[in-house]
Amino acid sequence: MIRMLVPLAIFLGLVIMLVAGLDTAEERKLVASPLIDKPVPPFSLPGLYEPEIVRSTEEFLGAPWILNVWGSWCWACRVEHPFVERLGSEAGIPLVGFNWKDERDDALEWIDRYGDAWTTHVVDFEGRSAIDLGVYGAPETFLIDHRGIIRHKHIGPIDQTVFDDLMRRIMTLRSEAEAS
Amino acid sequence: MTQPIPRSNPRRYGGMAALITFLVLSLLCSLSWASAIEPYEFANKVEEARFQALSRELRCTVCQNQSLADSDAPLAQDLRRELYAMIKDGRADMEIRQFMVDRYGEFVLYRPPIASHTLLLWAGPFIMLLIGIAIGLITIKRRRKAL
């Protein structure tokens, strides 16, 4: 009798494992960045309002900053926009908008409609710097410390939970910068 | 018990036809492989073959069950452009793989390296095979004893 129950037990075990796996299915799609705790790959990119002004990563050294990858074509960027705006006003550190594979006119129109949440803009039309940053989708948000080290990366839109987590991390980075 | 033989024959032919259809279709599938790729110019056949091979063994991170060769996603196009530039630049396959791993992690490799953390991945199928053989042998032995 007990021997007959063995296949059933194995089957039930499999079902439990599969159901448990459903919960983390979305998370498993996320690709952990190998760039965490590494220096931010240097880039020099044109601005959005003034394409002739080139901004490079060196300018941001000395204080923590946020890099937010977005595009006017990206619907999830619209979803997270209210929280990006709050980051811009509440984080107290530069929030760099990284406009990725977009048309300048579309990006400006998007900002006109939804508001400019960022303190600085850079434009990566070709997507080469984005590859260096390991960007594979928008939106993505990087936290970079005062030494220029990438400390955290969030993939996907920012919601209340993510916002709270980011703010906590930003406060840590700010106090680290003040202590040094 | 006494199934008339002629009745089973059409079924056998049906199976043959299905097999041929399957083989022809799978041939067509392999022919359509190269179609997602931009018309890049290569100096020689070797460069082209390396490009094809690398784009097939690197994963597209946006559409995760496709390789760079299969995918039409904008990021896959960018990465193919990068791959092409690196091959033109005379960089070695190892360097190109490392370039991708440095940015996107080992996840991009469809053929992960054999290392301590991938040992289970590589050895797993063989371990399962050994377990299967062991169970089979034990079962056969027991049945023989029972006879």
Amino acid at B51: F
Residue at A126 is within a domain: yes
Looking up residue A61, the CATH number of its domain turns out to be: 3.40.30.10
Question: Packing angle between helix B45-57 and helix B74-88, nearest 10 degrees?
Answer: 140
User: Minimal Cα–Cα distance from A148 to chain B, Å?
Assistant: 17
Task: Provide the edge-to-edge strand list for the sheet that holds A140-144.
Answer: A120-124, A95-100, A65-70, A140-144, A150-155
As given in the structure block, the two tokens for residue B59 are 């994963």
Looking up residue B89, the CATH number of its domain turns out to be: 1.10.8.640
Residue at A112 is within a domain: yes
B128 plus B57 within the same structural domain = no
Below-70 pLDDT ranges, chain A: none
Q: In terms of CA atoms, which chain A residue is nearest residue B77?
A: A127
Whether omega before A139 lies within 30 degrees of 0, making that bond cis, reads: yes
Nearest by CB to A131, from B64, B78, B107: name it.
B78
- The answer for residues whose C-beta is within 8 angstroms of residue A62's C-beta and 6 or more apart is A146, A177
Chain B residue numbers with beta carbons less than 8 Å from the beta carbon of A142 are: none
Q: What are the φ and ψ backbone dihedral angles of B66, each rounded to 5 degrees?
A: -120, 150
- The answer for residues whose C-beta is within 8 angstroms of residue A85's C-beta and 6 or more apart is A115, A117
Residue at A121 is within a domain: yes
For A95, the 3-state DSSP assignment is strand
B107 plus B122 within the same structural domain = no
B76 plus B146 within the same structural domain = no
Residue at A128 is within a domain: yes
Interchain CB contact of A115 with B (< 8 Å): no
Which residue in B78, B84, B117 has the most chain A C-beta atoms within 10 A of its own C-beta, making it the best mutation to test that interface?
B78
Per the structure, the count of domains in chain A is: 1
Cα separation, A60 vs A73, in Å, equals 27
- For residue A67, the model assigns a pLDDT of 97
What is the pLDDT tens value at each position of chain B, 147 positions in all?
444 444 444 455 566 777 777 777 666 655 444 445 577 888 889 999 999 999 999 988 887 788 998 888 889 999 999 999 999 999 999 999 999 999 998 888 988 888 888 888 899 999 999 999 999 999 999 999 988
B35 plus B91 within the same structural domain = yes
B98 plus B126 within the same structural domain = no
- For residue B41, the model assigns a pLDDT of 86
- For residue A121, the model assigns a pLDDT of 96
Cα separation, B99 vs A41, in Å, equals 13
Tell me if B79 and A34 make a contact (CB, 8 A cut-off): no
Strand partners, A44: A56
Q: What are the φ and ψ backbone dihedral angles of B144, each rounded to 5 degrees?
A: -60, -45
Which residue in A136, A140, A153 has the most chain B C-beta atoms within 10 A of its own C-beta, making it the best mutation to test that interface?
A136
Residue at A61 is within a domain: yes
Parent domain of A84: 37-179
Per the structure, the count of domains in chain B is: 2
Parent domain of B147: 115-147
Record the pTM: 0.77
Cα separation, B118 vs B122, in Å, equals 6
- For residue B58, the model assigns a pLDDT of 92
Q: Look-up: residue for tokens 């900002």?
A: A111
Buried b (16+ CB within 10 A) or exposed e, B36-49: bbeeeeeeeeebee
B94 plus B37 within the same structural domain = yes
Nearest by CB to B105, from A32, A130, A133: name it.
A32
Nearest by CB to A131, from B62, B79, B101: name it.
B79
